[in-house]
Copies of this chain bind each other. A is one copy, B any other.
Amino acid sequence: MTAHPGREFRLASRPDGEPTLDNFDLVEVEVPDPGPGQVLVRNLFISVDPYMRPRMNDVPSYVPPFQVGKALDGGAVGEVIASGSDDVKVGDLVVHDLGWRDLALVRSKYMHVVDPAIAPSLYLGALGMPGLTAYVGLLDVAEFRPGDTVFVSGAAGAVGGMVGQIAKLRGAARVIGSAGSPEKVAYLTDQLGFDAAFNYREGPVRRALKAAAPEGIDVYFDNVGGEHLEAAISSLKVGGRVALCGMIGSYNATGGGTGPANLSLAIGKRLTLRGFIVTDHQGRLPALRDEAGSWLRDGRLVCNETIVDGLANTPDAFIGLLRGRNTGKMVVRV
């Protein structure tokens, strides 16, 4: 039995507020040959995503917290270099959940072989978890209907950019996005086809949203919570719907926040606010890959990425993501 030298990131300590490099340890490990049903994967791209930040806190949540001293994990795509499974062969490209490392020993039932004609990193973005989050959040959770006016926060991120594009491609009347820099705002309108976008750092979100959607909105896809959610509740029309997807604005918070002070408007406006977790909706992945795959082939879907090079820079990429340094999907090229 051969051992393969690899490296993996472990959680050195739990972040107090914003993570720092000290919270992460890069450790050399020996990865064994795959046993029966196992596959050894050399990761090509690994994913950093906002949901990883709350997993670094020691609080029970919908996914178990990361453990101090143990390897981190997350989405990754790589090439099979040894296989103990009849279903997967050496050279296959596979997407799986053991990121934050270069060599991953994965059980074959926890991976998917992907289409080598498609850029592999897209399986971490548009065709992966972020794309599925946008797809089910907009279509199933917020019950999007053609003709709706849709507002999405964090719109220059991997999920938000997909939400806006899917809404347009599915017949939205108007799509509005918020982001945290003038460059991102321009990216939304110029590259992704948003009808309007604004920089939430330049003034009250409520005022910017009213200006962008004077007649109100039908759907709000919430990636950030806080002031954005309150502004959206103000702007929502009767029968409006909110998909509660993430509250990145609070992920680094150490004290208690405040909720939307205008939530009582939900009564008279008959609003529905609904939280969801993408892992409940894996059954919709084939539908996403069909529909978004076809848009990709037609050149109708823009998939921007912010690529950070080198496994060792994964914590930098992650911290940058939480600071909004990405446009589109943030990935690490191993």
Hey, which bits of chain A sit against chain B, CB under 8 A? 61-62, 225, 229-230, 244-247, 250, 256-277, 280
Across-interface contacts of A230 in B (CB, < 8 A): 259
CB pair B262 A273 closer than 8 Å: no
In the A-B complex, the 4 residue pairs with the smallest Cβ-Cβ separation, listed nearest first, are A259-B259, A266-B275, A62-B268, A267-B275
A-B contact pairs, 10 of them (CB 8 A): A62-B269, A225-B264, A229-B263, A244-B266, A259-B263, A266-B274, A271-B274, A272-B272, A272-B274, A273-B274
Across-interface contacts of A259 in B (CB, < 8 A): 230, 258-263
Kindly provide the distance from the CB of A19 to the nearest chain B CB, expressed in whole angstroms: 18
Across-interface contacts of A265 in B (CB, < 8 A): 275
The complex places the Cα of A217 from the Cα of B267 at a distance, in Å, of 21
Nearest-neighbor residue (CB-CB) of A268 within chain B: B62
Across-interface contacts of A261 in B (CB, < 8 A): 256-259
CB pair A267 B250 closer than 8 Å: no
Kindly provide the distance from the CB of A274 to the nearest chain B CB, expressed in whole angstroms: 5
Across-interface contacts of A62 in B (CB, < 8 A): 267-269
Across-interface contacts of A246 in B (CB, < 8 A): 267
Across-interface contacts of A275 in B (CB, < 8 A): 265-272
Other than the given A244-B266, A259-B261, 8 more pairs (CB < 8 A) read A62-B269, A229-B263, A244-B263, A257-B264, A259-B259, A267-B277, A270-B275, A272-B275
